[in-house]
Amino acid sequence: MRIALAFLLLPVLAFSAITAPAAPAAAADATIGSLLNQLVTAPAVTTGYDRAKFVHWIDEDGDGCDTRREVLIQESQIPVTPGASCSVTSGQWYSWYDGSTWTNPADVDIDHFVPLSEAWQSGAGAWTPDVRRAFANDLGLDVALEAVTDNVNQSKSDRDPSSWLPPLADTHCRYATDWVLVKYRWNLTVDTAERSALGSILSGACAATAVVVPAKGVAGGSETVKRLAGSDRYATAVRIAQEYAPDGNVVYIASGQNFPDALSAATAAAAQEGPLLLTLPDRLLETVKREIQRLAPATIVVAGGSTAVSDAVYQQLSELAPSIRRDAGSDRYETSRILTQNAFEAGTVSEAFFATGSNFPDALSASAAAGSVGGPLILVHGTAASVDQATQALISSLGISSAKVAGDVGVVSAGVASSLAATPGVTSVTRLAGGDRFATSSAINRASFATAPTVYFATGSGFADALAGAALAARDGAPLYVVPSDCVPSYVPTDLQALGTTQRVLLGSTAALSDAVGNLTVCVPPPPPTPPAPPAPPANPGNVVNCGDFSSWRAAQDWYDKYYPHYGDVAQLDGDNDGIACDSLR
């Protein structure tokens, strides 16, 4: 039978269904305004909905009464005695949407308070069928399903509060409150128009309405946000490395002062399931040393030459593992090739990503995507006319047939892409790019991941935190999104819904990525530029000239045109009112 919900937030497994608990737990009070603030704002997903994907009106407890009848029995104002097969033939139902009372159950609809289509648009499309079934038959929250007048429910259809509210105006606060409770319980998003409408209703005294915080029906909200951060870039890399067990395998070390060596080292480390740690060029920090000792690697690989990681640091590192080597070339591109060649067996790699070595944002997302398919990230001269012979030789040696180019032609030239396509063995070249670094990151991830329970985020304005994070994301087969420091582009929440994401991992401190990123706060477009103020009108000269004061008709007409728009024919130069001054001078 249906019971009212007054429960504390309960930990649940990601996307696990929830049914009505046997007994209520202690109540947890909040204001409805505070719960509204916790809802994520995201664009509606308008494709893929099918009502059949929400199995509803089931007999969950096996007592012979399906969900519709359970609600009819519970909400009747007079006792209902079900007949055979739990048939309900009489009762009394008050529809608070319109103030009507009904005694014939045929006149009553059971309203999914948040309609199934609306739920799909705001997150349910990423759920499993079992979770959608639980949502469609939610007897654990007494406002999730309501017995209301049938034609009023039909007029509501699948509309949210921005386009439909109950006919009785004094119910609007209650309606918006219950809407937020259902969306909060199921971690559903709100679009901008919906949030605006809810914010308008839930203002003043209504916003202060005390409510019982509903138990979560599906994992999400703040429980899904994790931050991996330290006091600086080196401590952040150590914190990220702590996500690895001490398996005695390998640890990669790269300079924390620059990005090129670490970009290819990230996919190399992921291929061998080892972490990437950062070091000062000339000093091994004690915190980094202790983390290496905890990991107890069999091998340490130093990425880059002695200017990136000094010989003195290399010597200190050599004392922390049985084996150590330096993967370094004459420049960042040769170092990238050496790191790749030493981490991947010849003839075993079918797909690789290629990114410019002169900047980092595209390569960060590309390294995580490459790791998800067990491939490398190879740096290239992005503005060159073609890829060099050494890189083509590496491609052939590894057996690469699919090349993914990260960034547009301004970053990696058309000539480089064409020469990749002409490399023996390569059968496809795909460019993944957007209008800026953030859109390129999204394009890379959309093309590379069908599902992603976990997604990593890094700032697009710095490289340090994301270097070690890219190795972890690559190891986990997870996307890494490059985003602004204090918001996410509008398409990111949509991406995450499509990927079925249940955990968001922020790389770096709040100085690098604010909590707004974890909450998926969408970036507000900058306001349009303010047009320049019109020039001030000239001072009124008065009737101070006549046609004889001008040396030519053109001079007279120019004087007339200057003052006429503001003061009319103030000097009476246009006797016939035809707009031409001083006809006698023509």
List 41's β-bridge partners, or say none: 190
pLDDT at 535: 85
Question: 386 CB contacts (<8 Å, ≥6 apart)?
Answer: 415, 416, 418, 419
Cα dist. 83→1, 79, 89, 409 in Å? 16, 13, 8, 72
CA distance 372 to 449: 8
CA distance 282 to 255: 9
Would you say the C-alpha torsion 505, 510, 513, 518 has a positive or negative sign?
Answer: positive
Would you say the C-alpha torsion 96, 102, 107, 109 has a positive or negative sign?
Answer: positive
Pair of tokens at residue 9: 């937030």
**Residue 448: enclosing H or E segment and its boundaries?**
helix 437-448
CA distance 313 to 516: 38
List 211's β-bridge partners, or say none: 30
CA 204 to chain CA mean position, Å = 31
Please list the alpha-helical segments (H only) found in 20-100.
32-38, 67-75
pLDDT at 45: 83
CA distance 582 to 567: 17
Cα dist. 85→63, 71, 77, 81, 242 in Å? 9, 15, 22, 12, 58
Question: Rounded to the nearest 5°, which phi and psi values hold at 64?
Answer: 90, -10
Please list the alpha-helical segments (H only) found in 166-277.
172-185, 192-201, 233-241, 260-271
Cα dist. 36→126, 501, 517 in Å? 22, 21, 17
Residue type present at position 341: Q
- In tens digits, the chain (586 residues) has pLDDT values of 343 333 223 323 233 333 333 333 334 468 998 899 888 888 888 888 888 888 889 887 888 899 999 999 999 999 998 998 899 999 999 999 999 999 999 999 999 999 999 999 998 888 877 788 899 999 999 999 999 999 999 999 999 999 999 999 999 999 999 999 999 999 998 988 999 999 999 998 999 999 998 888 865 443 478 899 999 999 999 999 988 888 778 999 999 988 888 888 988 998 888 999 999 999 999 999 999 999 999 999 999 999 999 999 999 999 999 999 999 999 999 999 999 999 999 999 999 999 998 888 888 899 989 988 889 999 999 999 999 999 999 999 999 999 999 999 999 999 999 999 999 999 999 999 999 999 999 999 999 999 888 899 999 888 877 888 988 998 888 999 999 999 999 999 999 988 888 889 999 999 999 999 998 999 988 788 888 888 889 999 999 999 999 999 999 999 999 999 999 999 999 988 999 999 888 8
C-beta separation of 370 from 477 below 8 A = no
pLDDT at 39: 87
Would you say the C-alpha torsion 550, 551, 557, 563 has a positive or negative sign?
Answer: negative
Torsion of CA 30, 33, 37, 38, to 10 degrees: 30
In the chain, what are the helix, strand and coil shares in percent, each to the nearest 5? 40, 15, 50
Question: 231 CB contacts (<8 Å, ≥6 apart)?
Answer: 509
Torsion of CA 571, 576, 580, 584, to 10 degrees: -80
For residue 363, is it left (φ>0), alpha (ψ between -120 and 50) or beta? alpha
pLDDT at 1: 38
CA distance 307 to 304: 8
Question: Rounded to the nearest 5°, which phi and psi values hold at 460?
Answer: -90, 0
Would you say the C-alpha torsion 515, 518, 521, 525 has a positive or negative sign?
Answer: positive
DSSP SS3 for 350: coil
Place of tokens 């007999």: 59
C-beta separation of 268 from 343 below 8 A = yes
Pair of tokens at residue 230: 């330290």
CA distance 143 to 392: 63
Measured at the CA of 229, the angle between CA 289 and CA 276, to 5 degrees, comes to 45
List 488's β-bridge partners, or say none: 522
pLDDT at 395: 96
Residue type present at position 211: V
C-beta separation of 349 from 374 below 8 A = yes
